[in-house]
Amino acid sequence: MTEKEKPVVTHAVTTPNKQPPTPLTVFKAALANDYQKQVVNYFNGDKTAGMRFLTSAADYVRRVPKLLECDPHSLINALMTIASFRFMPSSVAGEAYIIPYGGQAQFQPGYKGYVTLFYRAGVKKIEGEIIRENDEFSMTNGELIHKIDLRKTMRERGAPVGAYVRVTLPSGEEAVKYMNGGDIIAHGKKFSKAFSKADSPWNADKDPELWMWKKTVLLQAAKFLPKNDELVRAMEEDFKDSTVSVGGMLDAEGPAVGAADHTPQVMPAEPVPDEENNDEEIKTINL
């Protein structure tokens, strides 16, 4: 066989198939590239706070993967609602939660979020405490006495039997509200559709400090406390799917504000200009 007759052997150069991006990767990219500017605007132009929020949001969704099975718009909307209050999405911080329910991601403010809002409205101090069956506790004519033996562990103090909040008003006066455990649980079952869900903050495994108990008591005291539009909006968002009268909860003399749609406007996804969307910022939320 002559040199010209020899078959020509070619070797195709192949590269390993590139794996498609995961839903979490797609979500983080969209959040960083499309909504960074809007988040920063909610935090009054503070880019550091905005990036901290984006990092917290990505980490929160990573820890609650069921959220990626929800309607994407509802997830973004819930996150933008949290940003609009200048909260951080974190079960540890306890300011706000996102609950997957019926294919939708639902925003829910936590006890610490409400505490922040009441402070913004003018309240001077808020103390919330859980009462346990072996604690010494009494309440007479609005005067509450609660003694805890600090030598005892939480288990030794016994099961929770109630909760109270003590609030210092702008005038310096104190207001106290107490509820027993049975009433707190009944309230949660009545007004929280996700009460029994594994991802609900009412789940004891997710709320060992019983923040939801304290939140329930604080909201029952709301009608006697200073309030503003931001606080009203948080409560309307919190109870929009229940039959509770938010106006009645806020105003001792009747409804303060009619029901309204205060859902933050999610702006159309527009990439942030290059100078605001550099690689360093993207890496910050690339958990």
Q: Using only the alpha carbons of the chain, give its radius of gyration.
A: 25
* AA letter at 53: F
For residue 197, pLDDT over 80 is answered with no
For residue 43, pLDDT over 50 is answered with yes
Please give the pLDDT value at position 36.
Answer: 93
Tokens representing 93? 């911080």
The predicted-structure confidence for 105-126, as pLDDT tens digits, reads as follows 999 999 999 999 999 999 999 9
Measured in whole angstroms, how far is the alpha carbon of residue 270 from the centre of its chain? Answer: 25
Please give the pLDDT value at position 142.
Answer: 79
- The pTM (predicted TM-score) of the whole model is 0.77
Looking at per-residue pLDDT, the higher value among 208 and 251 belongs to 208
Please provide the DSSP assignment of 44-61 as one string.
TT-HHHHHHHHHHHHHHH
Residue 107 in 3-state DSSP?
Answer: strand
For residue 270, pLDDT over 50 is answered with no
Q: How confident is the model at residue 204 (pLDDT cuts 50, 70, 90)?
A: confident
Q: What is the mean pLDDT of the chain?
A: 81
Residue 179 in 3-state DSSP?
Answer: strand
- Least confident stretch, 13-17, 82-86, 178-182, 216-220: 13-17
* AA letter at 23: P
Please give the pLDDT value at position 208.
Answer: 82
Q: How confident is the model at residue 286 (pLDDT cuts 50, 70, 90)?
A: very low
Q: How far apart are the first and last CA of the chain?
A: 61
Question: Across the strands, what pairs with 122?
Answer: none
Please give the pLDDT value at position 104.
Answer: 92
User: Domain residues of the chain, as ranges?
Assistant: 23-284
The whole-number average pLDDT for the span 235-244 is: 78
For residue 10, pLDDT over 60 is answered with no
Q: State how far the Cα of 16 lies from the Cα of 32, in Å rounded to an integer.
A: 28
For residue 254, pLDDT over 60 is answered with no
Q: State how far the Cα of 284 lies from the Cα of 280, in Å rounded to an integer.
A: 6
Q: Give the CA count within 13 Å in the CB-facing half-sphere of 127.
A: 9
The whole-number average pLDDT for the span 277-285 is: 36
Q: How confident is the model at residue 74 (pLDDT cuts 50, 70, 90)?
A: very high
Please give the pLDDT value at position 246.
Answer: 61
Please give the pLDDT value at position 158.
Answer: 95
Please give the pLDDT value at position 47.
Answer: 95
Percent of the chain's residues with pLDDT above 90: 56
The predicted-structure confidence for 135-189, as pLDDT tens digits, reads as follows 999 998 878 999 999 999 999 999 999 999 999 999 999 999 999 999 999 988 8
Are the C-beta atoms of 277 and 269 separated by less than 8 Å?
A: no
Q: State how far the Cα of 212 lies from the Cα of 208, in Å rounded to an integer.
A: 10
Q: How confident is the model at residue 200 (pLDDT cuts 50, 70, 90)?
A: confident
The closest of 34, 106, 103, 26 to 272, measured between CA atoms, is 34
